[in-house]
């Protein structure tokens, strides 16, 4: 991600500026901001740096448009990104200047006399500093996701991103459907909320939100995402949204990120957004370089609701499902195996479908359970 002229012009202080050159130059990169008032010479190469956005009252030119035109030529030759003119001496420019700027993809804009240079520079500098920090954070996230990193290294990188990260985490990734949507605006909305244990990072072509807590979250990630989405007025129609599951341990922040990114890609392919990792079903097994732990996680997510239901109501859904899978979905054989009436088995299977929210798709239910049960039998783990 880079800061463009368009991003600068979206700053609150410049909301009322008037762009003279249309779309020309709006995508030019801006690396710093400078003032041109007295410094005009025939050679400004040593005054401003390439990709600098310049603001000026044009005091050096006053009402001499020819001198202003010469300065604009110099700025363009020096690869300046844009020129903002305070409306003291110039309230409009000739079509010759405007056309010349457009031909060279150079942005010219006017801003009112009520604005102070220092205030514009302050807001622009804050945005540029934020971008520098974003680049640093994006680099650390890529390091965190590197398959060569050991657990202790992942822990160190996670704490480098935010020393206040806690033990439990999940991630949300927002990817705009249109390039015209400003991620910087969305990031600014997030950063206005005090979130000391979390992080907001512009990553690749989206916004990555990392949420952590010292204890397991009392609300599931989908509901938390929906809460923030309403507060920030994020429309599902504008973003692909991927949500990870809750993971434990600082090194597992890498898992949270990977799950959110993976789920976002799946949301794009399926046209379903927001989408949570828990809703991806068998696709969880297609995560890049699936691990032993990753297989267990898929099985756990699928089977744990049945185990919890049995624990709470002293029922036998979980062993019934195990037996049902082992008997190749045969109701009569499952009933004989468990010494139960066939209707009892049918009721338990129906209840399991309801708990797993698969009651409208029998094939999907059987596919999910087959894989989950086989993993559980091959790699036993606690469902507590």
pLDDT tens, 187-204?
Answer: 766 666 667 888 888 888
Q: Which of 157-166, 185-194, 346-355 has the lowest mean pLDDT?
A: 185-194
Using CA of residue 356, residue 359, residue 361, residue 366, what is the dihedral sign? positive
pLDDT of residue 45: 63
- In angstroms, the CA 87 to CA 82 distance is 16
pTM equals: 0.61
Task: Indicate if the pLDDT at residue 381 is higher than 80.
Answer: no
pLDDT of residue 63: 81
Ordered by where they begin, the domains of the chain are 5-123 (3.40.1390.20), 145-279 (3.30.70), 292-378 (1.10.10.2840)
- In angstroms, the CA 90 to CA 186 distance is 35
pLDDT tens, 46-86?
Answer: 788 899 999 999 988 888 899 999 999 999 999 999 999 99
pLDDT of residue 171: 95
Mean per-residue pLDDT, 38-42:
62
Task: Indicate if the pLDDT at residue 170 is higher than 90.
Answer: yes
Average pLDDT of the residues of the chain? 87
- Is residue 110 classed exposed, middle or buried when 0-12, 13-18 and 19+ CB atoms within 10 A define those classes? middle
pLDDT of residue 110: 97
Instruction: Please give the distance of CA 325 from its chain centroid, rounded to a whole number.
Output: 39
Q: Which of 183-197, 268-282, 342-356, 368-382 has the lowest mean pLDDT?
A: 183-197
**Residue 116 neighbours by CB under 8 Å, 6+ apart:** none
Confidence label for 99 from pLDDT (cuts 50, 70 and 90) = very high
The owner of tokens 């089977």 is 303
Mean per-residue pLDDT, 82-106:
95
The H or E element that residue 56 is part of is strand 52-56
pLDDT tens, 297-351?
Answer: 788 888 888 999 999 999 999 999 999 998 999 999 999 999 999 999 999 999 9
pLDDT of residue 343: 94
């Amino acid at each position: 991600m880079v800061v463009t002229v368009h991003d600068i012009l979206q700053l609150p202080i410049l909301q009322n500026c008037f762009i003279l050159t249309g779309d020309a130059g709006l995508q030019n990169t801006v690396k710093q901001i400078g003032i041109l008032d007295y410094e005009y010479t025939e050679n400004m190469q040593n005054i401003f740096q390439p990709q600098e956005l310049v603001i000026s009252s044009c005091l050096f030119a006053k009402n001499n448009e020819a001198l202003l035109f010469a300065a604009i030529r110099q700025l363009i030759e020096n690869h300046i990104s844009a020129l903002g003119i305070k409306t003291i001496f110039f309230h409009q420019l000739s079509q010759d200047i405007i056309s010349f700027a457009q031909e060279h993809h150079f942005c010219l804009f006017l801003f009112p006399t009520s604005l102070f240079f220092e205030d514009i520079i302050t807001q622009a500098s804050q945005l540029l500093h934020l971008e520098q920090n974003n680049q640093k954070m994006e680099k650390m996230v890529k390091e965190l996701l590197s398959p060569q990193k050991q657990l202790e290294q992942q822990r160190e990188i996670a704490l480098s991103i935010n020393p206040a990260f806690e033990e439990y985490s999940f991630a949300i990734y927002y990817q705009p459907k249109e390039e015209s949507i400003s991620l910087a605006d969305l990031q600014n909305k997030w950063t206005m909320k005090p979130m000391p244990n979390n992080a907001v990072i512009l990553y690749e072509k989206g916004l990555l939100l990392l949420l952590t807590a010292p204890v397991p979250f009392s609300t599931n990630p989908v509901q938390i995402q929906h809460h923030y989405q309403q507060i920030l007025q994020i429309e599902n129609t504008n973003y692909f949204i991927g949500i990870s599951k809750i993971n434990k341990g600082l090194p597992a922040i890498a898992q949270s990120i990977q799950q959110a990114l993976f789920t976002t890609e799946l949301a794009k392919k399926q046209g379903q957004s927001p989408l949570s990792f828990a809703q991806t079903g068998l696709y969880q097994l297609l995560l890049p370089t699936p691990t032993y732990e990753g297989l267990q996680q898929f099985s756990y997510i699928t089977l744990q609701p049945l185990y919890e239901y049995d624990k709470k109501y002293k029922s036998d859904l979980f062993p019934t499902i195990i037996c049902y899978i082992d008997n190749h979905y045969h109701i009569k054989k499952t009933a004989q195996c468990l010494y139960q009436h066939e209707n009892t088995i049918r009721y338990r299977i129906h209840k399991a479908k309801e708990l797993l929210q698969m009651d409208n798709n029998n094939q999907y239910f059987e596919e999910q359970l087959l894989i989950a049960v086989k993993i559980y039998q091959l790699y036993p783990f606690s469902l507590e």
